[in-house]
Every structure is written in structure tokens, then in C-alpha cells.
């Protein structure tokens, strides 16, 4: 059987949630995730909106028969990969902060 | 030539049954059966997520849409990859940290478990069953086309159904995972080979390839010859409602993927949240590469095979296999068709295990029996039985509908329900302190009803067919559609959120707010998360 889940009292959860370390973790996460999320949503929806409402513009040929619409669509793949890569890099930092909080929580609980 | 596809099908079936036998000995106990003991490695889970996700709709469907309507089809490819950013940034890690086997575990954390799990199970079963029926009708039609001399549609559907039941009943999540991994590798290899062959046809000149796409020739419904530039946007999504439908589709894809139960359960099979994160990245590399290659599959079929030939040789969904046949003959055709078959099997197995996990863990154990197994192993037992039932129901419905049934809307429906019912409540439950049980129940209910209701009155189900269209291929309601868009997302997603928010504000549940800090700490730090183990 896997280990029992970590259990503790309401008061300790509240204390952890209000601790400076946890607030720092949340702030660090927010600093990356919120702008990244907003950027990718805007970048992505620019594609259907431009394709749908400005098809002539998007049909502009760029290289040979390859048009703006296809290049912009293709760029979405690289956009997604780049954001994923940046997130993984940023998340190493989240892991480090979270590890400290977990270690501290184990001592708060004591013994186990 | 029939013997070659037959041999390839049988080989795939033999290998997967071997895996199921191996996995069956390792799938005793709930953690092992539902979550493969949480010991799947990051890269393995990444490949399995890709195998779980890239369905017949991706492989056969997108190639077909691009082959017939050009560039617009490629927009599906884009949405299906970018959607993983929502999974990566918002959903995967909190879910792995706070949950056990299903998405409802996260919801039940600080809400009243019974009503929330009951609604979540209903939503999961709706998404999984509808999606599964679409896949099975596709599989039946495909197998019939390939092995027409040996099996008919009903036998093909029954065969697919029995195989998926066997994988899930005996092999659980472990067998499902490996079936998905093998399928993903086959699919990537087949698509890569096909792409190379397409480029070889154009003497590896991108200039020649793209200029051929500039003048695709075919005959329209009236028999007149048409020459079109397939790179142009707007061949599928035409005004007046096309552009809005395109945005609505985008919303359903971007926010629906993160609410698909069969994708979410995959994150419970890895040891921790960091591995879950890495597995999303692995999946994104594979899925992105695959969808970029749909350029070669779709435009290759349009330019090399041509819409006229495809139309008379099995229809849009046969574009990719027919392209393989045109480029490298019958053996390659058989290979690509066998991959399509493997694709469908892996996806239906994933859908079956997520449906049965939700029924057994959420509904049976937690709703009916208040969270306690009456005897050890009951939860797994119930899951195995429900896999039988889900499989039998899916076989029955797919047979009733028949091979020509108009089922494409079922995939749109699955994404719409996932985006409008599941995603709002998962997000609010993780991020909104005030959120409560009433909000979750109304959010799930409104999202589910809005998606289903809007699809029923959409052009997918309401249209006036000419008398030449017969049987289940006809639209269900012979009248002008009340809702002009095929994809309800643009309206149903806001409705799902509004339902959840209004439901929350109308009631007060102090215990839910008190437990928010616990969920917040657990989901963000992984403290006390379910660990890998043999049980």
C-alpha cells in the first residue's frame, strides 16, 4: 500500500497558505503563468480572427505560393513549443520553492 | 491484396493482446488498475498522451478536410496542439498534485463529494461515450472498406468493441498505456514516411509542392471543373457565419482539451507533478510534429490523388490511405490503414478506461457508497464490469447508426462539453476561494445542457437534406438550424462559467472556503500527493 496522504489540521494549512514562502511561490508562478497564458491566447486567436475576417490580407503571398495565413499558422507550433520550453525552465524554480515548503511542512507535522 | 491488410491487422492485434496478458498480472489493486501504479515514466506518458489524443479525427479527418477544403483544415491541426498550453500551464500539475484517479477528485476536495462527483461522472460518461461512438463508426467503415470481402460493418464494429473491452477489462491502465505508446510510434512513423514520399513526388522541392497546391483541380456537385488555390483561407469557413464558427471552434479546442477526461486521467499514471509536466512537453513535441505533417498528408492527397478520385473511392476519410496507395502501392496502403485502425483502437481504449474509472470511482464508490469500498477490490471489480457495459453500449449504438451515419458532430460535442462543463469547474475549484458545491453542480449542468442543446439546434443536426440522402446519413431534424454555428463553444463556454459563478453566489458554503487553503497548498506544492507504488 502506498503511504497515507499527508494530513494535518486546518490551522496548519492556513498557516502554510499564509506563510511568506508560499506567497513567494504563488507570486513567482503568477509572474510567469499569467503573462504566458494571456500571450498565447491572444496570439492563437489572432489566427482564426484574421483568417475569418481578413482572408484577402491573409492570402497575401510571401514566398512563392506560400501565403501569410500558412506562415502564421505554422508559427503557432513554434510559439507553443517555445512557451512550453520557457515554462519548463521557469518551473524548475517553482519546484525549488515548493520543495522548501514541503520540507518545512514535514517538520511542522513532526516525527513522521 | 486483401491478405496484406489482414496480416497487418492481425499482427497489431496479436502484439496488443500479448501486452494485455503481461499487464493483467500487474493490474491488481486500484492504484495499479486505474493509474498503472503511477510508475509510467515521463517520456512514456508523453507518447501515451499523444497516442490517446491523436484520434481517427486527426489522422483521417484532418487529412480529408485539407484534401477537400484546403488550408482551413490545417486550422484544426493548429488548435489541437496549442490547446496543450492550457493543459501545461493551468491543469496538469494541480490535477496530479491534488487528485487520485479522476478529475472529480480535485472538485470533491473542498466541495460536497456526492453531488459534485455524480455530475462529474455524468459529464465524463457523456464526453467519453459520444466520442467513442464517433470513433467506432469510423473504425467500422474503415475496416469494412479494407477487408470488405471478409468482414462487414457490424462485424468490424463488434471486433473493435471486443478488443477495447479486452484491453481495459484485463489490462487496465497499464495495457491501455502501452497500446497507446505503440500506436503513437506507428502513427508518427507512418506519417513521417508518407510525408517523405509526398516530398519525393515533388522531387523534394517545396516550391513545386506549394505551387501545385495553388491549382487543385476537381469537379463540383454540378459536374463543372473547378481550379482553386488550396492555400487560401475561407474555403470551408465562409461568411456569414464561417468566421465566427472558426473562433468558436478555436475556443472549444483550446479550452476543451484540458477538460477531456481521457487525457486528464493520464496524468495520474506518473510518479509526480514534475513528471506530469515533462510528459506534457513530450506529448507537445510529438503532437506538434504530427500536426505539422498533416500539411503533407492533406495537401498531398489534394494534389497527388485529387478530390474527385477520393470522393469515388471511399470519401474524405480515406484521403490518407489513398495517398499512401498512390505513392507506394498496396502494401503501404495496408500499412497506413492498419495504423489508422491501431489509432482508433488506442483511443477507444483510453476513452473506455476513463469512463469506467469515473463510473466506478466517482459514482459507485463515492456517490452510492459514500466513499467506502464494501469489500476490498470492489472498485476495480465494478470498473471491469462497467467496461463491459460501456463497450456493449458503444457497439450497439454504432451498429444502430450504421456506416454512413453523420457522426462528425460527436467529436465537436465532446470538445464542447469538456470546455463548457468540465474546464470551468476545474479552474474555479483550483483558483476561486468563494467557489462551492452549488456552483460546481450548476456549472457542470449548464455547460452540459448548453453544449448538447446548442448542438441539437445547430446545422450539424438540423438541416434540410435533398431526397438523395437516406437513412442515418440524413440530418436528424429536417428544418433550418436555429443556431447558425457548428461549434457551440463561443456561447456554451461563457454559459458554463456563468452557471458556475451564479450558482456559487446564490449559496453560501463556509466549509468550502475553509478548505481552500488546503487545496491551494496541496495543488501548488505537491505536499501529500498520491505516490507511486505497487498498489
Pick from B102, B335, B307: nearest CA to B220: B307
State chain A's mean pLDDT as an integer: 90
Total domain count, chain A: 1
pLDDT score of B47: 95
Task: Tell whether A42 is covered by a domain.
Answer: yes
Span B420-426, mean pLDDT?
95
DSSP state of B240: T
Give CA–CA dist A54/A60, Å, rounded: 11
Please answer yes or no on whether B243 and A45 come within 8 Å at the CB atom. Answer: no
Residue of B210, B284, B528 with shortest CB distance to A5: B528
* Pair type for strands B216-219 and A66-67: unpaired
In tens, the pLDDT along B345-368 reads 889 989 998 999 988 888 888 888
Q: Which three cell numbers stand for residue B380?
A: 476495480
Count of helix runs (H) and strand runs (E) in chain A: 4, 2
Exposed / middle / buried, residue B67 (Cβ in 10 Å: 0-12, 13-18, 19+) = buried
Instruction: Write out chain A residues lying below 8 Å of B254, CB-based.
Output: 41, 44
Give the residue ranges of DSSP H helices in B365-418.
378-401, 408-417
Residue B2's pLDDT band, with cuts at 50, 70 and 90, is low
- CB-defined contacts A:B, below 8 A: 168
Q: How far is A110 from chain B (nearest CA, A)?
A: 14
Q: How far is A72 from chain B (nearest CA, A)?
A: 10
Task: Tell whether A3 is covered by a domain.
Answer: no
Task: Tell whether A2 is covered by a domain.
Answer: no
Task: Tell whether A5 is covered by a domain.
Answer: no
Q: How far is A111 from chain B (nearest CA, A)?
A: 15
Pick from B182, B216, B197: nearest CA to B73: B216
User: Minimal Cα distance from B511: which residue of A?
Assistant: A10
Residue A109's pLDDT band, with cuts at 50, 70 and 90, is low
Pick from B312, B324, B307: nearest CA to B226: B307
In tens, the pLDDT along B13-55 reads 999 999 999 999 888 888 888 898 898 999 999 999 999 999 8
Domain that holds residue A34: 13-109
Q: Tell whether the model's pLDDT for residue B1 goes beyond 60.
A: no
Residue of B288, B524, B531 with shortest CB distance to A81: B288
In tens, the pLDDT along B255-288 reads 999 999 999 999 999 999 999 999 999 999 999 9
Task: Tell whether A4 is covered by a domain.
Answer: no
pLDDT score of A112: 42
Task: Tell whether A103 is covered by a domain.
Answer: yes
Kindly list the distances between the CA atom of residue B473 and the CA atoms of B136, B169, B465, in Å, as whole numbers in the listed order: 16, 33, 9
More confident residue, B282 or B1: B282
Kindly list the distances between the CA atom of residue B481 and the CA atoms of B409, B446, B461, B475, in Å, as whole numbers in the listed order: 14, 21, 8, 10
Task: Tell whether A64 is covered by a domain.
Answer: yes
Span B54-74, mean pLDDT?
89
pLDDT score of A2: 41
Pick from B290, B24, B60: nearest CA to B178: B24
Residue of A5, A48, A81 with shortest CB distance to B250: A48
B:441-470 residues touching chain A, CB 8 A cutoff? none
- Cβ-based neighbours of B37, under 8 Å, separated by 6 or more: B26, B31, B174, B532, B533, B534, B535
Q: Tell whether the model's pLDDT for residue A45 goes beyond 70.
A: yes
Kindly list the distances between the CA atom of residue B175 and the CA atoms of A47, B119, B139, B312, in Å, as whole numbers in the listed order: 39, 28, 20, 38
Q: Is the peptide bond before B240 cis (omega within 30 degrees of 0)?
A: yes
State chain B's mean pLDDT as an integer: 90
Q: Tell me the CATH number for domain B3-399.
A: 1.20.1730.10
Q: Tell whether the model's pLDDT for residue B423 goes beyond 90.
A: yes
Q: Tell whether the model's pLDDT for residue A6 goes beyond 90.
A: no
Residue A4's pLDDT band, with cuts at 50, 70 and 90, is low
Chain B interface, mutation test: which of A56, A84, A107, most B Cβ atoms within 10 Å? A84
Please answer yes or no on whether B214 and A65 come within 8 Å at the CB atom. Answer: yes
Give CA–CA dist B503/B439, Å, rounded: 4
In tens, the pLDDT along B111-150 reads 999 999 999 999 999 889 888 888 888 888 777 777 777 7
Task: Tell whether A1 is covered by a domain.
Answer: no
Pick from B313, B320, B322: nearest CA to B295: B320
Q: A62 by DSSP, 3-state: which?
A: strand
Kindly list the distances between the CA atom of residue B264 and the CA atoms of B32, B94, B256, in Å, as whole numbers in the listed order: 17, 11, 11
Amino acid at each position: 500500500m502506498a503511504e497515507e496522504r499527508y494530513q494535518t489540521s486546518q490551522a496548519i494549512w492556513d498557516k502554510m497558505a499564509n506563510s511568506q514562502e508560499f506567497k513567494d511561490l504563488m507570486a513567482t508562478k503568477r509572474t510567469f503563468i499569467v503573462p504566458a497564458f494571456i500571450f498565447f491566447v491572444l496570439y492563437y486567436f489572432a489566427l482564426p480572427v484574421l483568417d475569418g475576417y481578413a482572408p484577402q490580407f491573409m492570402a497575401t503571398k510571401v514566398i512563392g505560393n506560400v501565403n501569410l495565413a500558412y506562415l502564421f499558422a505554422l508559427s503557432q507550433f513554434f510559439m507553443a513549443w517555445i512557451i512550453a520550453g520557457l515554462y519548463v525552465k521557469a518551473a524548475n524554480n517553482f519546484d525549488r520553492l515548493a520543495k522548501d515548503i514541503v520540507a518545512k511542512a514535514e517538520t511542522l507535522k513532526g516525527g513522521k | 491484396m486483401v491478405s496484406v491488410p489482414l496480416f497487418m491487422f492481425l499482427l497489431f492485434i496479436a502484439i496488443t493482446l500479448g501486452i494485455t496478458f503481461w499487464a493483467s498480472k500487474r493490474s491488481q489493486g486500484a492504484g495499479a488498475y486505474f493509474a498503472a501504479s503511477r510508475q509510467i515514466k515521463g517520456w512514456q506518458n508523453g507518447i501515451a498522451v499523444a497516442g490517446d489524443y491523436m484520434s481517427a479525427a486527426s489522422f483521417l479527418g484532418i487529412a480529408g478536410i485539407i484534401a477537400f477544403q484546403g488550408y482551413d483544415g490545417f486550422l484544426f491541426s493548429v488548435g489541437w496542439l496549442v490547446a496543450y498550453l492550457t493543459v501545461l500551464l493551468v491543469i496538469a500539475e494541480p490535477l496530479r498534485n491534488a487528485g487520485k484517479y479522476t478529475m472529480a477528485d480535485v472538485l470533491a476536495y473542498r466541495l460536497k463529494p456526492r453531488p459534485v462527483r455524480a455530475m462529474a461522472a455524468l459529464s465524463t460518461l457523456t464526453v467519453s461515450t459520444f466520442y467513442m461512438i464517433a470513433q467506432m463508426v469510423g473504425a467500422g467503415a474503415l475496416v469494412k472498406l479494407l477487408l470488405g470481402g471478409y468482414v462487414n460493418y457490424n462485424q468490424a464494429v463488434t471486433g473493435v468493441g471486443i478488443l477495447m473491452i479486452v484491453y481495459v477489462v484485463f489490462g487496465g491502465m497499464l495495457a491501455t498505456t502501452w497500446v497507446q505508446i505503440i500506436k503513437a510510434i506507428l502513427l508518427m512513423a507512418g506519417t513521417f514516411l508518407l510525408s517523405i514520399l509526398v516530398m519525393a513526388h515533388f522531387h523534394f522541392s517545396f516550391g513545386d509542392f506549394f505551387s501545385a497546391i495553388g491549382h487543385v483541380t476537381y469537379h463540383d456537385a454540378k459536374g463543372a471543373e473547378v481550379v482553386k488555390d488550396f492555400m487560401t483561407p475561407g474555403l470551408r469557413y465562409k461568411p456569414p457565419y464561417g468566421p465566427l464558427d472558426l473562433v468558436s471552434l478555436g475556443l472549444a479546442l483550446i479550452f476543451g482539451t484540458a477538460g477531456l477526461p481521457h487525457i486528464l486521467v493520464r496524468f495520474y499514471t506518473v510518479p509526480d507533478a514534475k513528471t506530469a509536466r515533462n510528459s506534457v512537453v513530450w506529448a507537445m513535441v510529438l503532437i506538434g510534429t504530427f500536426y505539422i505533417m498533416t500539411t503533407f498528408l492533406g495537401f498531398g492527397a489534394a494534389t497527388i490523388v485529387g478530390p474527385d478520385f477520393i470522393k469515388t473511392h471511399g470519401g474524405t476519410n480515406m484521403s490518407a490511405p489513398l495517398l499512401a496507395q498512390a505513392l507506394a502501392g498496396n502494401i503501404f496502403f495496408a500499412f497506413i490503414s492498419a495504423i489508422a485502425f491501431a489509432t482508433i483502437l488506442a483511443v477507444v481504449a483510453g476513452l473506455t478506461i476513463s469512463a469506467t474509472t469515473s463510473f466506478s470511482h466517482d459514482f459507485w464508490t463515492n456517490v452510492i457508497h459514500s466513499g467506502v469500498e464494501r469489500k476490498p477490490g470492489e472498485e476495480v471489480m465494478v470498473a471491469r464490469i462497467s467496461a463491459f457495459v460501456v463497450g456493449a453500449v458503444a457497439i450497439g449504438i454504432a451498429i444502430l447508426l450504421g456506416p454512413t451515419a453523420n457522426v462528425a458532430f460527436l467529436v465537436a460535442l465532446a470538445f464542447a462539453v469538456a470546455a463548457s462543463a468540465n474546464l470551468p469547474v476545474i479552474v474555479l475549484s483550483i483558483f476561486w476561494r468563494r467557489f462551492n458545491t452549488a456552483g460546481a453542480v450548476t456549472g457542470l449542468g449548464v455547460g452540459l445542457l448548453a453544449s448538447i442543446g446548442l448542438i441539437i439546434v445547430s446545422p450539424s443536426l438540423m438541416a434540410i437534406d435533398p431526397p438523395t440522402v437516406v437513412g442515418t446519413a440524413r440530418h436528424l431534424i429536417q428544418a433550418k438550424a436555429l443556431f447558425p454555428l457548428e461549434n457551440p463553444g463561443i456561447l456554451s463556454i461563457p454559459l458554463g462559467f456563468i452557471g458556475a459563478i451564479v450558482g456559487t453566489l446564490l449559496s453560501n458554503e463556509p466549509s468550502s472556503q475553509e478548505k481552500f487553503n488546503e487545496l491551494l497548498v496541496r495543488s501548488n506544492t505537491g505536499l501529500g500527493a498520491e505516490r507511486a507504488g505497487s498498489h
